[in-house]
Amino acid sequence: MSLRQRLTQLAGRLQEPQKVARFQRLCGVELFYILFFPFWIWNLDALVGRRLVVIWVLVMYLGQCTKDVIRWPRPASPPVVKLEVFYNSEYSMPSTHAMSGTAIPIAMVLLTYGRWQYPLIYGLILIPCWCSLVCLSRIYMGMHSILDIIAGFLYTILILIIFYPFVDLIDNFNQTHKYAPLIIIGLHLALGIFSFTLDTWSTSRGDTAEILGSGAGIACGSHVTYNMGLILDPSLDILPLARPPITMTLCGKAILRILIGMVFVLIVRDIMKKITIPLACKIFNIPCDDVRKARQHMEVELPYRYITYGMVGFSITFFVPYIFFFIGIS
């Protein structure tokens, strides 16, 4: 075998772990969330989907704010080889990817076991597999140290122990309280403004506003949906729920809901993005020639992210289910 062939073969072997790592880190980026939560709400169990969002928003918000308070830098390069640079401007401790990768599978099992009929062993297998894939990928990509990962994991366990008992209360409040939308919008906006005062601009500030906006939109949409009777949760008398038989009709409707819903959500996101950034720049007299530079101002980044993803969340729990109801695929 020639030297060139050996080098080509070695490069191919090196790319395989990178592909796996890229797949693993998808469990912590927008593409994953914008598919995962709607799939739960539209196709599986709206109650579980809503409460997963509540837990995700809480865990990610506390994680992002803690990063800006501790202010530990990313691992130095060299010696670390960084295969990802998008989040390099953020701080490192704790790993919010590890926090999300820990919180979501644990919350899924906590929310579904006893509500749905399935062996607990399935959940006990899911949790370490999901968590380890996400956490190890962050080390492989050169974005976190082992200490960051361990801290994120333990921090998430602590948050779940303290706040999980209140998730049911929060979800019921979001749906039934008369003034829930005003309180939700005001609280999430206040949390966003507070987080923006913790440190200078980084991608974490935009992510925080995006998370809070999504959570507020989904909560407000669930309030309207509940009061209009579009999505009704199953009665407690019929729990635990049995898995429906998998048929062509069931799969066809699920695929149709995802396709129609995601097209609508992405259109809403693009429209709101094109509206909010120029409007915020005009209101606060900030030059809009360089959008990236303009978004480094809190006056632009916060309303852009919060309003845009607030509408995305509202679409997921209200507009899209209303479309499903109207065309008969709900």
Active site members = 97, 144
- β-partners of residue 241 are 116
Q: Interior CA angle at 204 toward 214 and 309, to 5°? A: 20
One-letter identity of residue 98: A
Please report the sign of the dihedral spanned by the C-alpha atoms of residue 142, residue 148, residue 150, residue 154.
negative
- β-partners of residue 116 are 113, 241
C-alpha to C-alpha distance for 75 and 87, rounded to whole angstroms: 12
Whether the bond into 79 is cis, omega within 30 of 0: yes
C-alpha to C-alpha distance for 220 and 78, rounded to whole angstroms: 46
C-alpha to C-alpha distance for 103 and 97, rounded to whole angstroms: 10
C-alpha to C-alpha distance for 244 and 115, rounded to whole angstroms: 14
Please report the sign of the dihedral spanned by the C-alpha atoms of residue 120, residue 126, residue 128, residue 131.
negative
Cβ distance 108 to 123 under 8 Å?
Answer: yes
- β-partners of residue 304 are none
Q: Residue 293 half-sphere exposure, CB side, CA atoms within 13 Å? A: 5
